[in-house]
Structure 1
Amino acid sequence: MKGRMAVLGRIEGQRAAAQIVDGRLQDFLIEPAENTVPLPGAIYRAVVDRPLKGQGGMILRLPGGTAFLRQGKGLSPGQTLLVQVTGFADEGKATPVTSKILFKSRYAIVTPNAPGINVSRSVKDDDVRESLLEIAHETMGNEGYGLIVRSSAAGADADEVAEDIAEMCASAADTLAGESGEGAELLLDGPDPHHLAWRDWAEIDNVATEASAFEDHAVPDLLEPFCTPYVGLSGGASMYVEPTRALVAVDVNTGADTSSAAGLKANLAAARDLPRQLRIRGLGGQITIDFAPMPKKDRRQMEQALRSAFRADAVDTTLVGWTPLGHYELQRKRERRSLMESLPR
């Protein structure tokens, strides 16, 4: 099927969402099986527990668990503060949080701690920018919060944008009012996969929400290749994406092609598909790529291909560079839980 489709459904009771573009799976979201796992985006009133020596951070108490705040300067044990979950914790580790609270919706991001009204730099048209700024100023009034109008608002109805901004400001006011309470408490839960799909998947042509939507659009079949390390690439090349406790290892192979350009062709194909593979598999952290053998003169072209591929990816990824052994390293935010951990067993 041609076009961009969002398929919303459940897998054995867990809410899930699939983005399919021209019949190809582009993204997949699924909620954790455990209801007690803090979701990224959730806002808590946390209690400062103790400093983490040598790292400059603080261990905080959350309802039923602990969190790690990287910047703990000026905090003292027993103090309460609002924090927001930034990603999923590795097994046995504290939940990562930040004190920089954001309220993110389809068209706007409210920033209580960063005043000022701005429009996403992705919106290049000056007239559109002025129109969005006018809507934002009229809707915000004297709230005192900061606001970023997202690029998705550029083609949206003005009333819908204004309503979205107003709802986010109201949500911010209600949530921030809980800062004055005592003890650790969940103030605002993180978005589930259906909400994330509505919020972050722009330019969707069709949305399927029927009970049989996943089966009707063959989502289980589209998802199956991402449950194994092997990834087939063009020209008979392949790569293997294998997570370990320490890092994600990516190995690129040329296959049967023995030409002088085989390594570069395989590596370029791997670079183009790698963001999609990591996104759907829910993999983050340190990623080490063992590219197929190629001349050192081709490294610049490979770096350009990686930058281009990850520029369009929504998950923050830092291209670190080449190691002395000739591997390439990335650092990717752990926004998602591993697909294999999340799927029902």
Structure 2
Amino acid sequence: MKGRRIVLDHLGARPAAALMVDGRLDDLLIDDEGTRPGAIFRGICDRPMKGQGGMFLRLAGGQRGFLRGASGLKPGQPLLVQVTGIAEPGKAIPVTERLLFKSRLVIVTPGAPGINISRAIKGEEERARLRIAAEEATDGAHGLILRSAAETAEEEEIAEDIATMEALAAAVLADAEGSEPEALTEGDGPHELAWRDWSAPEVVTEPGGFVREGVLDAIAMLESADVDLGEGFLSIEPTRALVAVDVNTGGDTTPAAALKANLAAARALPRQLRLRGLGGQIAVDFAPMPKSQRKQLEQSLRASFKADAIETSLVGWTQMGLYELQRKRERAPMAPILAGLREHL
């Protein structure tokens, strides 16, 4: 089935959202019932991390947060922080002082004044129209970023989005003081994130959509470490320390087999990491090939990850010939979530 389609459904009691592109699962969100990225807390500074310039904070529910680059903070001081990613097992939740209030069309940025427009919007006339609409709608108390989805949106819709986010920002900032930690927002769930961050001409909301649209079949394939690339195979094995990725040529023994498999793996890797919720350190063992072909492979990797929304640093080759990446932990790993939902798949 050609085109893009968003499917909203539930797996058991958990909300879930799938983005299908040309009949293939391109992105997947399942509520992991933990602390969501984007949630905002009033934290209480607890203990500085000497030598790392960080501060541990007490958060609501007995949770701990860790703020990097903290300076001038004292134990017992209240601080508004926002969750930036998923905590590794046994570690504190990563947080930031830079609050962002995101909606589908706009982002309100307290402490960062000015109006900015997504670089994805190219037309000068459209950019000028959006700036005027934002200037007329904002109260000027905070900064604004108009997202790419604002392109061609009606002025009334933009104004409503701005008013909603500015009201939320004002309410949260008013709760900055207090002697006890408190959860102020819970962050967006899968259905809200799909509405906010994905675009598609059709949204399927009727119950049972995952079955009818083939989403469950695609999810079941994620339980296997192996991915058939057509030009070889990809194996993805998460460990406690890192994610190990192996590329092999399968039964192809032609001279070009390694390069073909490696290029196919480079194209597939962002989507596979995204669907599996994997981040942190990633080590890729590409199929053996001449060093002269590395530049072509690196170009393919850069192009593939440039189109991916999750921040990823392409670190480079190790002396043993592995390729290293560092990927932001924006999502919970999918494997334990799927294991707990197996009866619904």
Shared fold (TM-score, shorter chain, > 0.5):
yes
Does the CA-based 8 Å contact 2:76-2:179 persist in structure 1? no
Does the CA-based 8 Å contact 2:86-2:329 persist in structure 1? yes
User: Which one of 298, 310, 316 corresponds to residue 311 of structure 2?
Assistant: 316
Determine the structure 2 residue equivalent to 1:14: 14
Paired with 1:208 and 1:238, the residues of 2 have a C-alpha distance of 32
* Number of aligned positions between the proteins: 339
User: Which one of 110, 123, 126 corresponds to residue 125 of structure 1?
Assistant: 123
User: Which one of 258, 269, 283 corresponds to residue 253 of structure 2?
Assistant: 258
CA displacement at 1:205 relative to structure 2: 1.6
Determine the structure 2 residue equivalent to 1:73: 71
Residue pairs, 1:275-294, within 5 angstroms: 275-294=270-289
Determine the structure 2 residue equivalent to 1:96: 94
TM-score by length of 2: 0.96
CA displacement at 1:55 relative to structure 2: 1.6
AA matched with 2:137 = T
Determine the structure 2 residue equivalent to 1:190: 187
Query: What is the Cα-based RMSD across aligned positions, in Å?
Result: 1.0
1:54 lines up with 2:51 in the alignment? yes
Determine the structure 1 residue equivalent to 2:322: 327
Determine the structure 2 residue equivalent to 1:206: 202
* Secondary structure, aligned partner of 1:227: coil
Paired with 1:76 and 1:181, the residues of 2 have a C-alpha distance of 15
Paired with 1:192 and 1:209, the residues of 2 have a C-alpha distance of 15
Paired with 1:113 and 1:308, the residues of 2 have a C-alpha distance of 34
Paired with 1:155 and 1:294, the residues of 2 have a C-alpha distance of 47
Determine the structure 2 residue equivalent to 1:271: 266
1:163 lines up with 2:160 in the alignment? yes
AA matched with 2:12 = E
Determine the structure 2 residue equivalent to 1:339: 334
1:243 lines up with 2:238 in the alignment? yes
Determine the structure 1 residue equivalent to 2:216: 220
Determine the structure 2 residue equivalent to 1:297: 292
CA displacement at 1:298 relative to structure 2: 1.1
Does the CA-based 8 Å contact 2:247-2:261 persist in structure 1? yes
Paired with 1:206 and 1:122, the residues of 2 have a C-alpha distance of 22
Determine the structure 1 residue equivalent to 2:225: 229
Paired with 2:209 and 2:234, the residues of 1 have a C-alpha distance of 31
Structure 2 unaligned spans of 5+: none
1:154 lines up with 2:151 in the alignment? yes
* Secondary structure, aligned partner of 1:18: strand
Moved more, 306-315 or 153-162: 153-162
TM-score by length of 1: 0.96
* Secondary structure, aligned partner of 1:180: coil
User: Which one of 105, 108, 127 corresponds to residue 107 of structure 1?
Assistant: 105
State the identity %: 57
Determine the structure 2 residue equivalent to 1:29: 29
Determine the structure 1 residue equivalent to 2:85: 87
Residue pairs, 1:126-141, within 5 angstroms: 126-141=124-139
AA matched with 1:240 = S
* Secondary structure, aligned partner of 1:303: helix
Paired with 1:225 and 1:85, the residues of 2 have a C-alpha distance of 30
Paired with 1:167 and 1:298, the residues of 2 have a C-alpha distance of 52
Moved more, 42-51 or 297-306: 297-306
Paired with 1:116 and 1:268, the residues of 2 have a C-alpha distance of 42
* Secondary structure, aligned partner of 1:77: coil
Determine the structure 2 residue equivalent to 1:177: 174
* Secondary structure, aligned partner of 1:210: coil
CA displacement at 1:158 relative to structure 2: 2.5
Determine the structure 2 residue equivalent to 1:40: 37
